[in-house]
Amino acid sequence: MISPKGFKLLLEKILIGHSDQMVMDKNLVRRMEDIEALPNEEKDKVYYFIDMALAYNKTKKAFAH
């Protein structure tokens, strides 16, 4: 699971242009701001769910071939 500090570092990396794979749109930025405004316990739940969804999709993709 990504920590709040790790999330902020990832966000900074994306926003300052160190990622070739991601394009930030207004909705994504708004969602990230909304997540950052949550209490820590709620943020941890959101990060956990995001991590689960990403892992599921990566696994699904790996077994599709």
Per-residue pLDDT of the chain (65 residues; tens, 9 = 90+): 667 777 776 766 666 655 556 566 788 888 888 999 999 999 999 999 999 998 999 899 889 87
For 15, the token pair is 């926003």
Total domains in the chain come to: 1
**What's the pLDDT score for residue 21?**
60
Q: How far apart are CA 62 and CA 52, in angstroms?
A: 15
Q: Are 38 and 46 in contact (CB under 8 A)?
A: yes
What one-character DSSP code corresponds to residue 16? T
Per the structure, the complete domain to which residue 34 belongs is given by: 4-64
The pLDDT, as a whole number, for residue 43 is 92
For residues 2 and 57, give the distance between their C-alpha atoms in angstroms, rounded to a whole number.
17
Residue with tokens 């990230």: 32
The whole-number pLDDT of residue 7 equals 73
